[in-house]
Amino acid sequence: MEDHKKKAQVSKRFEGKVAIVTASTQGIGFGIALRLGLEGASLVISSRKQKNVDDAVEKLKGEGIEVFGLVCHVSNKEHRKNLIEKAIEKYGRLDVVVSNAAANPSVDSILEMKEPVLDKLWDINVKASILLLQDAAPHMKNGSSVVIISSIAGYKPDPPLSMYSVTKTALFGLTKALAAEMAPDTRVNCVAPGFVPTNFASFLTNNDDIRKDFEEKTMLNRLGTTEDMAAATAFLASDDASYITGETVVVAGGMQSRL
Ligand code: NAP
């Protein structure tokens, strides 16, 4: 939090702007919301559980951030519609959408994965972003931007995350395709985080051996932080990146991704 505050003090890139961040009551999504808020954005945060939403809103308000929160399970059509409608009702504009939600319901190999699990992966990790942006796009005017949160795993679909990784690979393509569709008014970019010790990754990062292995796979010899991911997302969402669209920024301490 202190790191965020120091960096946000030097820039207020989102003053007068409105940002929606999905799955933003914990982890990377919360870190992104905090950074955008500290830089002046009015925020709409959300996740599946009301209690998590209330707690996160309170923390952000405690930082002096203008924010409201609501329940939005990203694969629920009414929730997504409500998220966009309430944002427009309250703030009258929409400048930034960060699509951050993902699920990893199984560690089965792809050939053994049950059809409902495949459906869930597709629904939450890919389709929900598309449907959310279909609702958001009519409100996004010139100078607006979208950031999609993928994963370094999208470049290297290793077990036990193989199918999850494939959905993250799809987001690289989705970023390019939507960047073309939403240009020139809205830029669309993607962040591919390395490993960050959040709840989502705890089954990997809580194991000392696996954690050490991940650290050694980076050039910087450490896991990522939510602040690292938030800084890259804020850059891409801001006017500092006004000539960047359709790109993926890997934020993984030098872990092998693409050349
Ligand atoms: P996290 O710390 O576990 O936080 C997940 C957040 O998402 C919580 O606020 C949760 O709140 C919400 N959420 C979960 N399912 C949701 C749904 N269906 N609809 C709406 N909200 C939902 O996770 P994280 O590590 O920050 O992951 C965030 C993103 O980063 C994901 O896209 C993930 O794939 C990506 N990523 C993470 C890592 C990593 O190492 N952590 C690496 C690469 C990419 P509720 O429980 O209240 O819904």
Rounded to an integer, what distance in angstroms lies between the CA atom of residue 9 and that of residue 11?
Answer: 6
pLDDT at 148 over 90: yes
Ligand 1 and 154: CB distance under 6 A: no
The answer to whether residue 47 is domain-embedded is yes
Secondary structure (DSSP) of 112-125: G--HHHHHHHHIII
pLDDT score, position 204: 80
Dist. CA 238 → ligand 1 center (Å): 22
The answer to whether residue 186 is domain-embedded is yes
Q: Is 91 known to be catalytic?
A: no
Give percent of the chain with pLDDT exceeding 70: 96
Question: How buried is residue 72: exposed, middle or buried, by Cβ count under 10 Å (0-12/13-18/19+)?
Answer: buried
Query: What SS3 class is residue 71?
Result: strand
pLDDT at 61 over 80: yes
The answer to whether residue 45 is domain-embedded is yes
pLDDT at 192 over 80: yes
8 A C-beta contact, residue 247 and residue 218: no
Q: What is the largest CA-CA distance in the chain?
A: 50
Ligand 1 and 165: CB distance under 6 A: no
Ligand 1 and 68: CB distance under 6 A: no
The pick from 59, 76, 195, 198 for probing ligand 1's pocket by mutation, whose C-beta has the most ligand atoms within 8 angstroms, reads: 198
78: confidence class by pLDDT, cuts 50, 70, 90:
very high
For 214-236, write each residue's pLDDT tens digit: 999 999 999 999 999 999 999 99
pLDDT at 7 over 90: no
pLDDT at 2 over 80: no
139: confidence class by pLDDT, cuts 50, 70, 90:
very high
Q: Which among 237, 70, 229, 244 is positioned nearest to 140, based on CA atoms? A: 237
For 86-131, write each residue's pLDDT tens digit: 999 999 999 999 999 999 999 999 999 999 999 999 999 999 999 9
- Looking up residue 139, the CATH number of its domain turns out to be 3.40.50.720
Mean pLDDT for the stretch of residues 169-185: 98
Dist. CA 27 → ligand 1 center (Å): 7
The answer to whether residue 178 is domain-embedded is yes
Number of domains in the chain: 1
Dist. CA 200 → ligand 1 center (Å): 6
Domain limits at 27? 18-251
pLDDT at 4 over 70: no
Say what the pTM is: 0.97
The answer to whether residue 135 is domain-embedded is yes
DSSP state of 83: H
The answer to whether residue 110 is domain-embedded is yes
The answer to whether residue 256 is domain-embedded is no
The pick from 34, 200, 217, 257 for probing ligand 1's pocket by mutation, whose C-beta has the most ligand atoms within 8 angstroms, reads: 200
Average pLDDT, the chain: 96
Ligand 1 and 149: CB distance under 6 A: yes
8 A C-beta contact, residue 71 and residue 47: yes
The answer to whether residue 12 is domain-embedded is no
